[in-house]
Structure 1
Amino acid sequence: MDEQINAFIASIRRIMEALPTDSKNIRGTVTEVDEAARTCEVQPLGGEAPLPDVRLVASIDSEAIGGVVFIPKIGSAVIVSMLEASESEAYVTSFGEVEKLIIRFSEDSFAELSEAGLSYKNDELEVNLSQDAHQLKVGDLSVQLTADQLSLNGDSAGGLIKIKELKTEWNKNKAILDGLVQVLSGPPIPEPGNGSPSALQASLKGAVAGKQTGVLKDSIINKKVTHGDGDN
């Protein structure tokens, strides 16, 4: 057991000895942010000259695609560390307030989170969640939700049909059509004056012979997709 403890202590000592001994930390305030370059400018609290191009990530290489980036708020407090005490190797190690969090998985896949909302994109999938609206887009299909409206692929085709009201109005028209068909299919109606059977009735009777008015059945309703007026 003593040998294992001694080996562990020795490994810790080697790690500590490998750490740079001339690095330093500076407290400061963020004065500028370059989101594209993934750097910021920091004004040290001690009154020293501003520190430009302070890294927000481990690498600011333009060819580096993936990674997590914290975008600090202007005026927020940060702690800046410098490798080998060199200002050219300065990077933010602690953030006071964050404006945005960016997670990039690949060139076409990333997520952004901020107080304004959340956005995510991956190939044909796109999700945008904000305080005013939520939107989901997959290829050419889209769904958008606001406080008072749900839109499927936009709103150019108008609103969804209220099937109960449609059936009520349909039944009114059907009652009129059924009445007309009953008259046309009934006994001949004599024409005024000569008493001959109505030629118009005979013509219309032939036109509707063998035909029936339709019935708006419940089978046309897809009960797995429903909507309402927001009452419940």
Structure 2
Amino acid sequence: MHILLVEDDTSLAAALCKALRQKNYAVNTVATGREALHVIRTEKPDMTILDLGLPDMDGIEVLKKARHSQPEIQILILTARSGTEEKITGLDSGADDYLAKPFEVDELLARLRVLERRLGSAKTSLVAVGDVVLDTTTNMVSMSGQNVELSRREYSLLRSLMENVGRVQTRSVLENRLYSWGEEVSSNALEVHIHNLRKKLGSDFIKTVRGVGYRVNQL
């Protein structure tokens, strides 16, 4: 899951990136509205966490332009503007949720899980395909009732495929959800993760769509 964090407070941004990456999110961060809009238009993150108090333009303007550019993107506002009027303005301008500063990271994570369930085909915290069940709340995977041990990136890759069951996920989309900016990625890293998942879940669970990407079919 690819998140864009738009936050000009560098210490807060660093702390949030660390917390989100520990929960298997790929997170990229920018500090201005113009940078945010460029990334949203060109890289299409799954979700955006947007601070309204940006140095170069008002966050509400960024929100409106982001919503116009990518109508399907999930946007959560983070802001010190905690009044009811500001909340209504944000939601009316296209935000999917609103979290006032200061806040607990656990609450942010819970709200992100709600937004995630609006993406792809997942409607609850449990995503099941055949005998494989993925729990987005606990980050656990089981097969035929037995827990399956996965690495952080194996889990993220499997989640992206299972939440979009029946849909082909391209290589670039999957890599964007697995890796943040600046991370070194070997040319065969994705194939290695796919290979490991097939060893653990069965060779036929993940299908290769030659020249396009990968897909999990509903069994």
Task: Determine which structure has more spread, i.e. the larger CA radius of gyration.
Answer: 1
Q: Indicate the structure whose relative CO is greater, using CA pairs within 8 Å and at least 6 residues apart.
A: 2
TM interval, shorter chain, is: under 0.3
The structure in which a higher percent of residues are strand is 1
Higher helix fraction (1 or 2): 2
Question: TM-score w.r.t. structure 2 length?
Answer: 0.22
